[in-house]
Amino acid sequence: MSTITTMFSHATSTVSAKLTGIMPTSKTSKIAKMMVLMLAFAIAIPMQVQAAEFITEAIDMLGIVIIAIGGGLGIWGIVNLLEGYGNDNPGAKSQGIKQLMAGGGLILIGIFVPDALAGLF
């Protein structure tokens, strides 16, 4: 709350300093400037809260999508791996193990990276 008060007082003094030469400095104009700034902050602060909620939700959804892609790639790798063992095909076995490991890596990224991103924002 003190940060908002500090920002408000700084913005008020900045606007007052810039508008001194342009507008008359009567008490009414100062009150009008204060009211305009209060209105601007009253509109801007809830928008920042909504933006923060949106970013948090987007990061959570990003994690879910990455985990889903990793799971699909892992399943595809298991299928290729089993196909390689069934047909005694070393190329399919190699492809399957690579896909399985890549899918596992994506799942780990989907679990740990969104938490780090949420802490960053």
76 and 102 part of one domain: yes
The residue-averaged pLDDT of 48-55 equals 73
Q: Is the pLDDT of residue 1 over 50?
A: no
Which one is predicted more confidently, 51 or 112? Answer: 112
Residue 52 to residue 80: CA distance in whole angstroms:
42
40 and 67 part of one domain: no
The residue-averaged pLDDT of 39-62 equals 76
The residue-averaged pLDDT of 92-107 equals 93
Residue pair 106/70 in contact by the 8 Å Cβ criterion = yes
20 and 64 part of one domain: no
100 and 69 part of one domain: yes
Q: Tally the domains of the chain.
A: 2
Residue 70 lies in a domain: yes
pLDDT value of residue 88: 86
Which one is predicted more confidently, 71 or 41? Answer: 71
* C-alpha dist (Å) from residue 30 to 8, 35, 108, 119: 14, 9, 57, 40
Q: What stretches of the chain show up as alpha helix (H) in DSSP?
A: 2-19, 27-87, 90-120
Q: Give the CA count within 13 Å in the CB-facing half-sphere of 92.
A: 13
Q: Is the pLDDT of residue 48 over 80?
A: no
60 and 117 part of one domain: yes
* C-alpha dist (Å) from residue 48 to 42, 112, 119: 11, 26, 17
Range of the domain at 14: 1-44
19 and 62 part of one domain: no
Residue pair 105/73 in contact by the 8 Å Cβ criterion = no
38 and 61 part of one domain: no
121 and 88 part of one domain: yes
The residue-averaged pLDDT of 89-113 equals 92
